[in-house]
């Protein structure tokens, strides 16, 4: 196992509760062997049973008359140790014509959430001086039941929209959940192979049985499949694709995890997904453990608790098994990735490092970046989402020469909620701009190498309170700002921090926050339904109308916004795989990355970097009082600045006070 270095740099661009996906997974497409010209010929379309007009599948099949089928598919693992291979339960809807010779591609959504979840306590995050839980009892936090996937089959929109166009849609219970056997392991190899098995079954390479135990095959399947989903359901598509399984032609990972280490850890530290402080792999696995036998997996769950290691946060074989980025070179499917800039559950590092790896290995790809959080993009931009998704599936699953790879690869939503397209991300022409954390603010040139200190209060005070009012001296943070920007500044990519600092006390954490200072109305993570008009996007049935409301962004007006944040356990300054002792008072060079972002700091606003130790909502919380001393003048932040903006030109403000700010010309 390769041992990673302490800093996953910006060039690599590198997930806890995961919300249940509201979409169905897409089936993997077959090999692109059909002649596109033949595929668009009316005679060919009639013979195939599909209606194709203008290189696009058209509604020709009845959702109301669809065939419903359930299959238990055999996997390659025995994760519960009962001497039999695990099976996964697959529920399928397909056009009735598939019973009389029609062969179709399949859109799959694999999920651990279909059968609901359990009430599970999170780990204690308040520690004593020795790094042990201050209270051995649970903090009482729970995963809200509202995150459970709907119990009714085929919620979402893929059945209404895609089945009439000649696709089968399927839901799969991940191992250890619902009708499946085996054990949930929060991203373990058995979960990957469980979802992979259904692609193998669609291609005749795996065994399946109906619920009465009779063998059943997929004679109706072309073998082409796609997998899609959001959150955990958006993680499994990437996991399966990295096996290189034949027949998986497209994936759509939406807010999906690309490495589980980066979901529950960060640079050697135990760091929670946003909103789920104290959750870890064992908590999530216990939450989704919904199979009928509730005892057989207890030894597996106990091993998760031991192997995840909440004491050190070090990289290990446990996390290497759950890292999909290292296997991106094996992907044979077209990847349509989606993420929200305000997603602090599955943080933006997950799309960033996946995207960089896809570029490295020249995997066919698309990317949507929107302004919301951990959410479904479909109702935000309904018609365009369905158009592009439809084009993606038609291209990969039915070999239609529709130009899916000809358009710009990246769609980015702006702060005013308009969209722009660009050929890459970060945008071409983006360059690094390094600013010094000087005693009088942020500037391109170094200042005096003076020492500045803060006293950690993050155990009881949130980061949002600590960053407020940057011009007021506060003992519990160090704030560095530019002066008012004279033009818009676009940061797109991974901000990186390099500080010279020492620690005296019990907390090993150092946290950097990138802040936009300026009163403005900005998008938050949330969305709200616009109930003024119901939009019908597909064919409905009485229980599912095929209609929904659009959603719009939830906004708030505030004096500042934390744009990005990053964490480092100083003991892991040299490697995330091992700790090195921190000697109190000794100054170290500490380098780490923040979360990737695409964000515009507006003209007249100030850009700020705030340093703290404990981050209340994310890191473990040691007793307050650790003193962190930073050497200003030599510490830096490096920002990926996009065109067409000119380089920063900052001038020091006369009479500015230490750590309070500078004026700028930009």
Catalytic residues: 231, 343, 374
DSSP 468: S
What does the block give as tokens for 544?
Answer: 């599912």
Provide the 3-class DSSP secondary structure of residue 173: strand
Record the tokens describing residue 261, joined without a space: 């280490």
CB atoms < 10 A from the CB of 134, how many? Answer: 14
Helix H or strand E encompassing 563 = strand 547-569
Determine whether 145 is exposed, middle or buried from the number of CB atoms within 10 Å of its CB (0-12, 13-18, 19+).
Answer: exposed
Q: Where are the alpha helices (DSSP H) in 429-518?
A: 463-467
CA nearest neighbour of 424 among 640, 202, 183: 640
3-state secondary structure 402-452: CCCCCCCCEEEECCCCCEEEECCCCCCCCEEEEEEEECCEEECCCCCCCEE
First to last CA, the chain: 47
Cα gap 477→560, rounded to integer Å: 16
Q: How crowded is the C-beta side of 377, counted as CA atoms within 13 Å?
A: 35
- Name the E strands within 25-149: 67-74, 87-94, 104-111
Record the tokens describing residue 89, joined without a space: 């339960």
Cα dist from 493 to 131, 358, 424, 502, whole Å:
34, 15, 11, 28
Pairing verdict, β 509-536 and 606-612: antiparallel
DSSP category for residue 378: G
- Distance (Å, rounded) from C-alpha 657 to C-alpha 632? 13
Token pair for 341? 């800039």
As a whole number of angstroms, the distance between CA 573 and CA 579 comes to: 8
φ, ψ of residue 466 to 5 degrees: the values are: -70, -30
- 143 and 279 Cβ atoms separated by less than 8 Å: yes
Six-digit token pair at 590?
């500490």
Q: Which of 459, 185, 397, 207 minimizes the C-alpha distance to 303?
A: 185
Beta strands in 174-312 (DSSP E): 208-209, 221-230, 248-254, 265-266, 269-270
């Amino acid at each position: 196992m390769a041992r990673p270095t302490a800093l996953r740099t910006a060039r690599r661009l590198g997930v806890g509760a995961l919300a249940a996906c509201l979409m169905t997974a897409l089936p993997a497409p077959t090999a692109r062997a059909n002649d596109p010209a033949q595929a668009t010929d009316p005679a060919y379309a009639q013979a195939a049973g599909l209606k194709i007009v203008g290189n696009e599948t058209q509604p020709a099949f009845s959702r109301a008359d669809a065939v419903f089928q359930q299959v238990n598919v055999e996997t390659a693992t025995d994760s519960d140790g009962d001497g039999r291979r695990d099976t996964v339960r697959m529920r399928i809807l397909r056009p009735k014509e598939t019973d009389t010779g029609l062969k179709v591609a399949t859109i799959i959504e694999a999920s651990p959430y279909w059968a609901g979840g359990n009430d599970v306590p999170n780990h204690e995050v308040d520690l004593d001086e020795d790094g042990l839980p201050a209270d051995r009892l649970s903090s009482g936090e729970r995963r809200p039941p509202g995150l459970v996937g709907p119990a009714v089959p085929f919620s979402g929109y893929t059945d209404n929209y895609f089945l009439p166009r000649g696709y089968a849609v399927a839901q799969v219970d991940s191992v250890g959940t619902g009708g499946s056997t085996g054990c949930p392991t929060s991203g373990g190899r058995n979960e990957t192979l469980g979802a992979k098995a259904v692609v193998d079954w669609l291609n005749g390479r795996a065994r399946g049985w109906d619920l009465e135990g009779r063998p059943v095959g997929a004679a109706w399947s072309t073998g082409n499949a796609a997998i899609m989903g959001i959150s955990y359901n958006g993680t499994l598509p990437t996991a399966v694709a990295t096996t290189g399984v034949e027949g998986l032609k497209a994936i759509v990972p939406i807010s999906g995890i690309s490495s589980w280490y980066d979901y529950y850890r960060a640079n050697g530290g135990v760091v929670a997904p946003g909103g789920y402080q104290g959750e870890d792999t064992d908590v999530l696995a216990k939450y989704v453990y919904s199979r009928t036998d509730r005892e057989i997996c207890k030894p597996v769950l106990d091993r998760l608790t031991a192997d995840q290691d909440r004491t050190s946060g070090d990289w290990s074989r446990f996390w290497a098994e759950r890292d999909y980025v290292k296997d991106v070179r094996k992907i044979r499917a077209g990847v349509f990735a989606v993420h929200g800039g305000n997603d602090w559950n599955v943080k933006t590092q997950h799309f960033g490092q996946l995207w960089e790896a896809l570029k490295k290995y020249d995997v066919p790809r698309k990317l949507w970046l929107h302004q919301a959080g951990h959410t479904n993009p479909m109702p935000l931009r309904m018609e365009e989402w369905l158009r592009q998704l439809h084009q993606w599936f038609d291209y990969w699953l039915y070999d239609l020469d529709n130009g899916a790879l000809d358009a710009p690869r990246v769609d980015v939503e702006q702060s005013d909620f308009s969209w722009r397209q660009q050929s890459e991300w970060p945008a071409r022409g983006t360059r690094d701009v390094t600013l010094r954390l000087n005693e009088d603010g942020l500037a391109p040139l170094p200042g005096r190498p003076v020492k500045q200190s803060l006293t950690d209060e993050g155990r009881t005070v949130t980061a949002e309170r600590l960053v407020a009012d940057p011009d007021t001296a506060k003992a519990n943070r160090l704030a560095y700002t530019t002066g008012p920007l004279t033009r818009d500044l676009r940061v797109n990519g991974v901000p990186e921090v390099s500080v010279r600092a020492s620690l005296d006390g019990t907390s090993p954490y150092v946290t950097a926050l990138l802040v936009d200072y300026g009163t403005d109305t900005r998008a938050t993570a949330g969305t709200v339904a616009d109930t003024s008009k119901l939009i019908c996007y597909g064919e409905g049935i009485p229980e599912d109308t095929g209609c929904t409301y659009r959603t719009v962004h939830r906004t708030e007006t505030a004096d500042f916004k934390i744009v990005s944040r990053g964490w480092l356990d100083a003991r892991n300054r040299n490697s995330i795989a091992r700790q090195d002792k921190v000697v109190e008072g000794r100054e170290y060079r500490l380098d780490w990355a923040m979360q990737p972002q695409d964000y515009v700091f507006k003209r007249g606003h100030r850009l700020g970097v705030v340093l703290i130790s404990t981050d209340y909502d994310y890191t473990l919380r040691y007793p307050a009082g650790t003193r962190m001393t930073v050497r200003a003048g030599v510490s830096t932040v490096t920002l990926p600045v996009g065109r067409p903006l000119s380089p920063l030109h900052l001038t020091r403000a006369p009479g500015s006070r230490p750590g309070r700010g500078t004026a700028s010309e930009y």
